[in-house]
Amino acid sequence: MQKNQRAALYIRVSTEEQAEEGQSAPAQVETLKQYCSAYGIEIYDIYQDLGFSGKRLSDRLELARLLEDCRMGCFELVLVWKISRLSRNQSYSGRWSSNSSVQIEWVMPSIESDCPWA
C-alpha cells in the first residue's frame, strides 16, 4: 500500500440483524477510519447504502456515486469492511477492480491486540 493515497470508504448494511451483530454502519465506518489513520490514508468520501441487498447493484445509489467518482479519478483506493459489503457476487468485484486503476481492499476487524487499527 502506498502512502498518501486517497480512499473512498464504502459501507453497506442490508439487515437490522447485521447491524445488531457488530456490522452496523457506524462500526464499519469507525473500523475503516482507524485503518486509514494507522496507514496515513486520506479519506476522500464515505459512501453508505443502508438497507440494501448485496445482490442487486442497480438499487444502490451510493455505489453508483462511488463508481462515478472512480471514473473521474477522485481516489486511488476503495476500502470496505468485508468484500461482501461491496458485492455478494465476487466476480463482479473482480471485474470492477480489473477495469480500473483503483485498488479494492477489505479490512476485517482483528481479534489480535497488536492490530494497529483495532
Sign of CA dihedral 44, 45, 46, 49: negative
Question: Among this protein's residues, is 14 annotated catalytic?
Answer: yes
Neighbours of 84 (CB within 10 A): 16
Banded model confidence at residue 110, pLDDT cuts 50, 70, 90 = very low
Q: What's the longest Cα–Cα distance across the chain?
A: 39
Q: pTM for the whole thing?
A: 0.78
CATH 3.40.50.1390 describes domain 6-106: yes
Domain borders along the chain are: 6-106
What pLDDT, in 10s, does the model give residues 6-29?
Answer: 999 999 887 665 655 667 899 999
Tallying the residues shown for the chain, one arrives at 118
- Find all residues with CB under 8 Å of 48, minimum gap 6, and list them: 10, 11, 12, 25, 29, 62
Cell numbers 472512480: residue: 70
Give the per-residue pLDDT at 65: 94
What pLDDT, in 10s, does the model give residues 45-102?
Answer: 999 998 766 666 667 889 999 989 999 999 999 999 887 777 665 555 544 555 568 8
At residue 26, the 3 state secondary structure works out as helix
Nearest to 14 by CA among 2, 25, 27, 29: 25
Give the per-residue pLDDT at 53: 67
